[in-house]
Amino acid sequence: MDNIFLNSKNVFLDVINNKDYIQLDRVSVIYQSLRDSISKPLKMILFYGKPGTGKSMFLSKLYNDLRQSQEVYLYSTPILDESEFYKTLAQDIFKIKHDAELNFTQFMAIVKHKEEEDSKETPIIILDEAQLYSQNLMEKIRLVSDTRKVKFLITLHKTEKEDIIAKEHFQTRIWETIELQNATSEELKMYIQKKLMQANCFDSVHMFTTKAVNRIHSLTNGNYRDTNKLLYTLFDLYTVYEKENKVSALKTNYISIKMIEMSAIHTGLINV
Amino acid sequence: MFNTTELEKQWLQYKIKSYIPYLIISLSLLIIILIVYFFKFDMEKSSTNIQTSIIKSKPNPKKEIVQIKPSPHILVEDNKKVQLLPSLDFMKKMQNASQLHRPTVKSIQRPHISDIRPKEETKHAKRKKIIQDNIEELPQESKKDIDKTINIERKNTQKDIYDIIKRFKKNNNPVLSLFIAKKYYELGNYKQAYNYALITNEINKDIDDSWIIFTKSLVKLGNKDKALDILKQYIEHSHSNSAKILRKEIQSGKFK
């Protein structure tokens, strides 16, 4: 029993790995629409959603799928320094290593020079957490995209602030927006079960009744990150109870609501 | 690492907190229901008090009737059953009435009937008014007499007999002549009684009473033998029992 809880706990570790990507119906549709958008002659694509809706996992999956067929670069961590950002772009797209400072004018000169040289397929730059980029840099990214030498997939958290950024910088550009939403109760159940089954935790799969999943959904609002966090804590708590020989007081044929709520208290989802 | 004991305490606090809104709602609902119930109960109670007070203040028509004309036969307690028993009081009343031999008129007050029939009341009122007007014209003593009883006296005066004689002379009715004969006999005028009985017998020979008055008058006038002869002849003719009885009485000396 100890192994069951321990293995199940590790399934919900908050690690971005494209192998852990769970294929849900709605997410599959979004994934396909995003792939279609990338194949179109667009300068920019806006992909957004609330924190924890699985954007990073989604981008990881997309990056791994795309890089086998085309030139694609994923910037998971934002490069906030402008010079560093241009140098990284120059190196990845044009294979030019620039040791000294590189400003926007110098970078645009490189772009113009390379434009005349070759006409290879437009590379794709995936910018995760783009809300962290400065307004000035975002404006320059827009100008770079206008050269059509590079295509940007910009991923944002959906907040009021990010909506303003989107309006100011991308309103006049030809671009497509795709939104990733929180899971419904049914989707969440599917997500949990698929995730456990991928890790061969079949005993744990049957412990999640509809009632338990509904309670989890009410606590996490279908947010994948919060769900992972809650379920990790839940199985961790079960492990502790087992060690303290308290688990006999709990019914282990299904997940206890009390244990879910205790986990929620511990993780801060419930504020006592 | 988890502090499970602390976590369980926190969970218990959370559960209690989560039930507080439901508890407050339930309690407030209960209080509202209780307030509404008591308010309604008080309203009903006050309304019944008002009703009873109204009933008390209302004059009871039945009670009023009882006060005017108390009658132990009418007044019956609510919880007691009414048992009707035959009364022979009416026999005593009839006997008293026959002993008095005089009709009495009593003023009867019937307020309850007059309430029910206003038209009759007006008629009674008119009659009463006329009677009262007449009474007012009379002296005080006569008023008192009228209030108590009205006496009707029959007076067999000689004047009355003359009136009947006049009528007899007009129509020659044997009934009237017999009546005159009887009245004269009662007054002790046996001669006139004899004459009118003879006249009746001449008109109609078959009237028993006429022959009896005729013979009785003869006896009273001292013609006992003649009277017996006449009775004998009449008995042979009519076989009258009353004539036979009278003959026996005359013979025995009972009738003188």
pLDDT, tens digit, 9 for 90 and up, residues A31-79:
898 888 888 888 888 888 888 888 888 888 899 999 988 899 999 999 9
Domain boundary, last residue among A163, A180, A197: A180
Residues from chain A that touch B11, judged by Cβ atoms under 8 A, are: 258, 261-262, 265
C-alpha R_g of chain B: 47
pLDDT of residue B28: 94
Domain boundary, last residue among A150, A180, A210: A180
**A187, A175: one domain:** no
Domain B158-252 indexed as CATH 1.10.10.60: no
CA distances from A134 to A155, A163, A165, B60 (A): 14, 14, 10, 99
Write out the residue range of the structural domain in which residue A222 sits. 2-15+183-267
**A52, A163: one domain:** yes
Looking at the complex, report in whole angstroms how far the Cα of residue A272 sits from the nearest Cα belonging to chain B. Answer: 6
Look at residue A272 and tell me if it is in a domain.
no
Q: Do B7 and A272 touch (CB under 8 A)?
A: no
Residues of B with CB under 8 A from a CB of A: 1-2, 4, 7-8, 10-11, 13-15, 17
* Domain ranges within chain B, ordered by starting residue: 1-48, 110-151, 158-252
**A216, A120: one domain:** no
**A34, A106: one domain:** yes
ipTM value for the complex: 0.75
Query: Can you list the alpha helix ranges (DSSP code H) found in chain A?
Result: 2-11, 25-39, 55-66, 82-94, 104-117, 135-146, 160-170, 185-198, 202-205, 210-220, 224-243, 257-267
**A11, A126: one domain:** no
pLDDT of residue B110: 47
Look at residue A165 and tell me if it is in a domain.
yes
Task: Tell which of B6, B13, B14 to mutate to test the A interface (max A CBs under 10 Å).
Answer: B14
**A167, A191: one domain:** no
**Residue A86 belongs to a domain with what CATH number?**
3.40.50.300
Look at residue A20 and tell me if it is in a domain.
no
**A210, A143: one domain:** no
Q: Check pLDDT > 50 for residue B108.
A: no
**A107, A159: one domain:** yes
**A10, A105: one domain:** no
pLDDT tens track for B120-143: 445 555 555 554 555 455 455 444
**A223, A244: one domain:** yes
3 state SS of B91: helix
**A62, A147: one domain:** yes
Q: Tell me what the pLDDT averaged over chain A comes to.
A: 85
pLDDT of residue A5: 87
**Segment (H or E) for B226:** helix B224-238
Residues from chain B that touch A266, judged by Cβ atoms under 8 A, are: 2, 7
pLDDT band at B159 (very low <50, low <70, confident <90, very high): confident
Closest CA in chain B for residue A245:
B4
Looking at the complex, report in whole angstroms how far the Cα of residue B22 sits from the nearest Cα belonging to chain A. Answer: 17
Q: Check pLDDT > 80 for residue A164.
A: no
pLDDT band at A85 (very low <50, low <70, confident <90, very high): very high
| Domains: count for chain A | 2
**A131, A202: one domain:** no
